[in-house]
Amino acid sequence: MRLFGGKKYSTIKVRKKDLPAGLWVKCPGCAEIVYKHEIESGVGVCPKCRHHFQIGWQARLASLVEQGTFEEIDADLVSADPLDFKGQSTYVSKMQDARRKTGMRDAVVCGLAAIGPVRVAIGVMDFAFMGGSMGSVVGEKVTRLVERGTRDRLPVIVICSSGGARMYEGMLSLMQMAKTSAAVARHSRAGLPFITVLTHPTTAGVMASYASLGDVIIAEPGALIGFAGPRVIRETTREEVPPGFQRSDFVLKHGLVDMIVPRPELKPTLLRLLGYMCNLPAGQTPAPAPVEAQPDSYAGPGHVSS
């Protein structure tokens, strides 16, 4: 079903104060006011300008894996507070807020699923949970996912979105970079496919570990991808950053990512890649239509933010 193609866009010019809270969202791409339901029930792409909103893990999974095939693993892992971290606010209170706000237990959801005929191990990071930051739980879950892939000889796909290592867990967070990368090394040594999808934003500690290690690296349109944030660069070096710096087009041009894939094309693209990387018989991989929308039940309490 083409949800957006046939009907009139639900975009109208209205002043912000006239909007009932929560029903509408201003698209940061084109500044149009968009009916929030349209974004949430679809794959989170602005019907007007194709801006890619950040989407929650449920919506992401729904857009990628076959219905009913996702089997979550390691859902029981939750963060401890190993440093007994106390700043302006404590880690424990930050964690409680994030859990309440998102209904998630940490910033990544992992499991086994089918994409078309291909069984995969898939991890989805969600920026809404503490900026997708990687502490012990994210590192452990990603490592277990990759190890599961190695053990069961499965391709591993990670949809990345992260501001970097989680400083509340100090050096334990930094070491997750080494831990996850070592797991990827063994998966790779076994000749298995590893695909990373870099969504807005993928930076710092996650970018400097597994996100950069895909055999194929895909970027979503307009994503911020890099190591240091533009503000840090400006403050440290007093260099002006060029327009479009660290955005998907920039990193494609500079040779980091293999391709930029709009969200509706992501699933068919993954399938085509898996056909080659799993060396499936040619011509037998079904090529499903682009994914524009899924039944509402998938969207769940998913959140949309710019």
Contacts of 174 (CB under 8 A, 6+ apart): 165, 205
**Residue showing tokens 């037998």:** 284
Closer by beta carbon to another protein, 88 or else 284: 88
Q: How open is the CA angle 8-12-16, to the nearest 5 degrees? A: 150
Give the footprint of another protein on residues 216-245 (CB under 8 A). Answer: 226-228, 232-233, 236-237, 239, 241-242, 245
User: Binding to another protein by residue 33, rule CB under 8 A?
Assistant: no
Q: H-type helices in 5-56, by residue range?
A: 36-41
Closer by beta carbon to another protein, 49 or else 252: 252
How far from 3 is each of 116, 206, 215, 291, CA to CA, in Å? 22, 34, 33, 10
Q: Which of 43, 45, 109, 120 binds another protein (CB under 8 A)?
A: 109
User: Binding to another protein by residue 103, rule CB under 8 A?
Assistant: yes
Neighbouring CB atoms inside 10 A of 94's CB total 17
Give the footprint of another protein on residues 124-153 (CB under 8 A). Answer: 136-137, 139-140, 143
* Binding range to another protein, per CB under 8 A, among 23-31, 34-42, 169-177, 274-282: 169-177
Closer by beta carbon to another protein, 15 or else 189: 189
* Binding range to another protein, per CB under 8 A, among 26-34, 86-94, 264-272, 279-287: 86-94
Q: Residues in contact with another protein, total (CB under 8 A)? A: 82
Cα 250 from Cα 107, distance rounded (Å): 27
User: Binding to another protein by residue 93, rule CB under 8 A?
Assistant: no
| Class of residue 18 by CB neighbours under 10 A (exposed 0-12, middle 13-18, buried 19+) | exposed
